[in-house]
Amino acid sequence: MTAFDPIRIAMWSGPRNLSTAMMRSFSARGDTVCVDEPFYAAYLALTGLEHPMRAEILAAQPTDPHEVARAMSADKASQPIVYQKQMTHHMVDGVPRDWMAGLRHAFLIRHPARVLASFAKKMEEVSLAAIGFVQQKELYDLASTLGDRAPVIVDAENIRRDPERELTRLCAGLGIEFAPSMLSWTRGPKPEDGVWAPHWYDAVNASTGFTPPSDDIPDLPSAYQSILEPALEIYNEFVQRMREQV
């Protein structure tokens, strides 16, 4: 089997951000190996949090974050591109950051009202830390200091509105060629899916491409306002930075 010295891409997002659909898009390229949330088990082990399918996740992945970091920055891979679907909220204290220096970084954002409305359907407890906005800003600030390539910002709703345009811009920012095959994929589970997929991936498994967005911002219960407000401030900062990139 051919071994490549690959381009390694880390796509950073919080949960319910179109992140699995983006992984499907890169997997459809044919020249990319995808890695699904590699720090999930380490995150659960470090925090002790109860998540759906916790036991299965801990059994399926390494729980040592340093072992995961070494794998994410390894010298060789089976394809020219390695796409890492990375969750910002997984990067808690105890998870190393030094491995990020050798990667190209992108940040997938979404309006926090949409994130909260979707997240609350899957999880009983909702918090600012759980949706990853604060961590996403911290990781963006760090990634901006690494290497000579600025991290790329893309908005989930823009991708759904015009996937070819936005994916072309994303690929250009990452220094790779856009592939038309990124616009669609086959229905159903994929080999790279994490063991947690049965709980989270029902919608994306039914899809064959990016679906058009809804123009309406969800109305949230008043109990979520204390989460929405700081998350929205961070989101708006990302939108401004993204506009400066276009």
DSSP code per residue over 53-91: THHHHHHHS---HHHHHHHHT-S-BSSSEEEEEEEGGG-
pLDDT of the residue at 216: 84
As a dihedral over the C-alpha atoms of residue 108, residue 113, residue 115, residue 119, rounded to 10 degrees, the angle is 170
- Spatial CA neighbour of 133 closest among 163, 113, 152: 113
pLDDT of the residue at 229: 96
As a dihedral over the C-alpha atoms of residue 33, residue 133, residue 51, residue 68, rounded to 10 degrees, the angle is 40
CA-to-CA distance for 229 and 203, rounded, in angstroms? Answer: 28
The pair of three-digit structure tokens given for residue 127, joined into one six-digit string: 């918090």
Please measure the distance between the N-terminal and C-terminal CA atoms of the chain and give it in whole angstroms: 39
pLDDT of the residue at 221: 86
> Could you report the average pLDDT of every consecutive run of 10 residues in the chain (246 residues)?
90 94 98 98 97 96 98 94 98 97 97 91 84 97 93 97 98 98 98 96 96 86 92 97 92
The dihedral region occupied by 10, where left means phi > 0, alpha psi between -120 and 50, and beta the remainder, is beta
pLDDT of the residue at 1: 61
Round the CA-based radius of gyration of the chain to a whole number and report it: 17
CA-to-CA distance for 108 and 89, rounded, in angstroms? Answer: 13
Phi, psi at residue 125, to the nearest 5°? Answer: -105, 130
CA-to-CA distance for 2 and 146, rounded, in angstroms? Answer: 29
The pairing of strands 104-109 and 81-87 is: unpaired
pLDDT of the residue at 123: 77
For 50, which DSSP code?
-
- Spatial CA neighbour of 56 closest among 203, 194, 190: 194
pLDDT of the residue at 166: 98
